[in-house]
Amino acid sequence: MRSRKYLDTYMKDSKNTLFLGIPIAQWHADLWLWEKFFSTHRIKSLIEFGTGSGGLSLFFLLQSMQHHFKFNSFDIARPAALDEPIGKVLNLKSHFTQGDIMVKLHNVIVELITKSQHPILLYCDNGNKPLEVKTYTTYLLKDDFVAVHDWGVEFTRKNVPISLELIPFREVTVIDSYTRWMRKTK
Ligand SMILES: C[S@@+](CC[C@H](N)C(=O)[O-])C[C@H]1O[C@@H](n2cnc3c(N)ncnc32)[C@H](O)[C@@H]1O
């Protein structure tokens, strides 16, 4: 927990946690874990719930270009990154949908999951993580992935649906990350 305490303090200054100049609600060490994930697991689609300012979405969008997967991000609010030079150059707008993922966009998301190529990775960093994971995991297939943020705070082991298993990821425990990756087993 020592690393969490240090990194939480570091993150309190939002100028410290940027990607390409755009805020990210992550520790930078998590980007290293995401690098490992993308180079280990070949996904075809990534769906992000909770764009925030859009810094992490830019990171995901660049990864999608390198690793050849489709990327879509959802948020009820408009992310600042859309209006920044890097957001415009990468055309983040065409990967973003604005709306409430639990109400207005429910059918849109189910259709996206149904039509997307698998394996899909669903990344939940939104308002109610246990509910999002529970709701949308049911539409995933065996060997799809779910990742969740705020592990140990907003989402704990008891929130892991029975159809998911945690991926043993040594580095996650080394930095005591807030992110956990899971695989659908049935
Ligand atoms: C913690 S921020 C996401 C941070 C981002 N993933 C990052 O790492 O920089 C959570 C986001 O969830 C969005 N949100 C909360 N409830 C939502 C809902 N029901 N539908 C869509 N977006 C929602 C908020 O607007 C907020 O931008």
Predicted pLDDT of residue 12: 67
Higher pLDDT, 137 or 175: 137
Parallel, antiparallel or unpaired: strands 120-124 and 145-148? parallel
Mean residue pLDDT across the chain: 94
Q: What is the pLDDT of residues 92-121, one digit of tens each?
A: 999 999 999 999 999 999 999 999 999 999
Kindly report the protein residue whose alpha carbon is nearest to atom 17 of ligand 1: 127
Domain boundaries defined on the chain: 2-184
Closest alpha carbon to 78 in 61, 89, 92, 65: 92
Three-state DSSP state, 173: helix
Q: Summarize the confidence of residues 145-169 as an average pLDDT.
A: 96
Range scoring the smallest mean pLDDT among 9-13, 60-64, 105-109, 137-141: 9-13
Q: What is the pLDDT of residues 113-128, one digit of tens each?
A: 999 999 999 999 999 9
Predicted pLDDT of residue 85: 98
Kindly report the protein residue whose alpha carbon is nearest to atom 27 of ligand 1: 52
- In the chain, alpha helices (H): 2-11, 28-40, 55-67, 85-89, 106-115, 129-137, 170-174
Judge: domain 2-184, CATH 3.40.50.150.
yes
Predicted pLDDT of residue 22: 96
The residues near 178 (Cβ < 8 Å, ≥ 6 apart) are: 4, 26, 27, 30, 149, 150, 151, 152, 153
Predicted pLDDT of residue 2: 54
Ligand 1 lining (C-beta closer than 6 Å): 24-26, 50, 52-53, 55-56, 74-77, 100-102, 125-127
DSSP code at position 137: H
Ligand 1 centroid from CA 26, angstroms? 13
CA distance 81 to 22: 7
Residue written as token pair 């907003």: 154
CA distance 83 to 65: 21
CA distance 170 to 103: 36
